[in-house]
Structure 1
Amino acid sequence: MQPSGRGYDSGVSTFSPDGRLYQVEYARESVKRGTTTVGLKYRDGVVLIVDKRISSKLVIADSIEKMYQIDDHIGITTSGLVADARQLVERARIQCQVNRMTYGDSIAVTALVKKMCDHKQSFTQYGGVRPFGTALLIAGIDNDGIHLYETDPSGAYQSYQAGAIGRGRSSVIDYFESKWKNNMTQNAAIKLGLEALSESLEDDINSDTVEIAIVNSDGYHKLDHETALKHLAKLS
């Protein structure tokens, strides 16, 4: 059987005649197989919600990490290959510390996003490497305002009012386009994010596998399980 890329998928730096990089497209498919991650801006910051969606009741949910604190004012959620995401998270944390040590100040969110995407893009341009099979939602707040970025395995990035990555992205985006409003309260944003996540799932939300984090002027903080359960209870 002839491979779908007709030989042009054997190297990451080889374009097909119709201008496609198949290895990058395969990396995007890896992201689409990942669990759904949701992010949306509200009046004072950004809400991040992840569904860890464990495959067995024997798995300890706390051992799976899809949401990370990068700096005091930045949080990241991932979808796709977890091991690839860990490498990018570690690099992002180092970039934040280098900026703090060099300039004596925290890094701007947009500057970090550009540095991370430059790194991801370099893995689509040279032989002997492969693209990172993960996408990132990067949320933060700085002197320039409130930010929510979605990054792609190709190294592209876009800023969103509300966004999602993972297998349920299309359903979540459709829900946000019809329901998202500017200047929402924090509680309203969490409720909307959970509703959008619920729309993308075939089953009911598992309260043991959902995590919620807030990035606002007080910094990054993850809600404890009891608080998350209270927000989930409002869905019914």
Structure 2
Amino acid sequence: MFPTQSLGYDRNITMFSPEGRLYQVEYATEAVRHGPLAVGVKATDGVIIAGEKRSPHALVDLDTLKKIVLIDDHIGTAIAGLHADARRLIDYARVRAQINRLSYDEPVSIQSLVVEICDIKQSYTQGAGARPFGVSLLLGGVDDFGPQLYTTDPSGSYWGWKAAAIGKDSDMVRDFFKEQYKPTIDLEGAVKLAVQGIIKAAGEKTAVDPAEKAKTVEIGRIDTTSKMFKILGQNEVEAILKTM
């Protein structure tokens, strides 16, 4: 049995423990750690986002599972954690991006959109009758400031990255990126590094056949020339995997 006081800190989203912890936020972060891996790599000429799709049941059609989604023409995001929570945030981000286009006739800056998403997330850590969002988003794109890569967490914090990982085995992949990432990396090298990170985390769970692996790996890319985010088709992913 837990002491009554501990249960109070445990259940109350607005109450700090004596150690300065918000347990409900930590539990939401744990939900992210159990989500399938997503990675991102910033290159000199663009950004790569990749993710692993994991089926909850053998009969689920993998084509219906979306790990990477488009927010605006120049921004894509990968999800780790509760997809239902992610939908709410992604819908909000899409609306804010379109409002910016209508108001200012220009695409929204990626950092300002990340801040708006995190403001929503943070507000759900302070009010009673709600819970934190159990999802992290990895956003990548190109704006007037060049290639951008950010992550958000359930607390409402965000960070800009050169190479990032969220979800299951993300600590291992970040260590791998720390060893392998070079500031001069281009898009071709970035996509290989991103896929290597996913394969390293999956280990023996990853199928040997590139055609089979392509069913469980999703890749999005954007370059500084077109500034258009594209989610690659399965055949394109398979072609990349054959080079690994």
Look up the match of 2:2: 2
Moved more, 169-178 or 52-61: 52-61
Question: Does the CA-based 8 Å contact 2:141-2:147 persist in structure 1?
Answer: yes
Look up the match of 2:240: 231
SS of 1:7's partner is helix
Look up the match of 1:208: 215
Structure 2: runs of 5 or more not aligned:
208-212
Instruction: Note the 1:30-41 alignment, pairs <5 A.
Output: 30-41=31-42
The offset of 1:55, in angstroms, is 3.7
Look up the match of 1:62: 63
- Aligned positions, number: 235
The offset of 1:173, in angstroms, is 0.3
Question: What do the CA deviations read for 1:202-233 (whole angstroms, capped 9, x no partner)?
Answer: 41153211111102232100111111101111
Alpha-carbon distance in 1 for matches of 2:79, 2:193? 20
SS of 2:9's partner is coil
Structure 1: runs of 5 or more not aligned:
none
State the percentage of identical aligned residues: 40
Question: Does the CA-based 8 Å contact 1:73-1:216 persist in structure 2?
Answer: no
State the one-letter code of the partner of 1:213: G
Question: Does the CA-based 8 Å contact 1:5-1:22 persist in structure 2?
Answer: no
SS of 1:13's partner is coil
Alpha-carbon distance in 1 for matches of 2:236, 2:105? 35
Question: What do the CA deviations read for 1:62-118 (whole angstroms, capped 9, x no partner)?
Answer: 111121100111111110001000111000000101111111211111110111101
SS of 2:229's partner is strand
Question: Does the CA-based 8 Å contact 1:176-1:196 persist in structure 2?
Answer: yes
What TM-score do you get using the length of structure 2 for normalisation?
A: 0.93
Question: What do the CA deviations read for 1:160-211 (whole angstroms, capped 9, x no partner)?
Answer: 0000000110111011000011222322211111111111114115321111
SS of 2:239's partner is helix
State the one-letter code of the partner of 1:233: K
Question: What do the CA deviations read for 1:11-35 (whole angstroms, capped 9, x no partner)?
Answer: 2111111111000000000000000
State the one-letter code of the partner of 2:137: L
What TM-score do you get using the length of structure 1 for normalisation?
A: 0.96
SS of 2:196's partner is helix
Moved more, 28-37 or 193-202: 193-202
SS of 1:198's partner is helix
Look up the match of 1:121: 122
Greater helix fraction, Structure 1 or Structure 2: 2
Question: Does the CA-based 8 Å contact 1:138-1:148 persist in structure 2?
Answer: yes
State the one-letter code of the partner of 1:225: Q
Instruction: Note the 1:16-165 alignment, pairs <5 A.
Output: 16-165=17-166
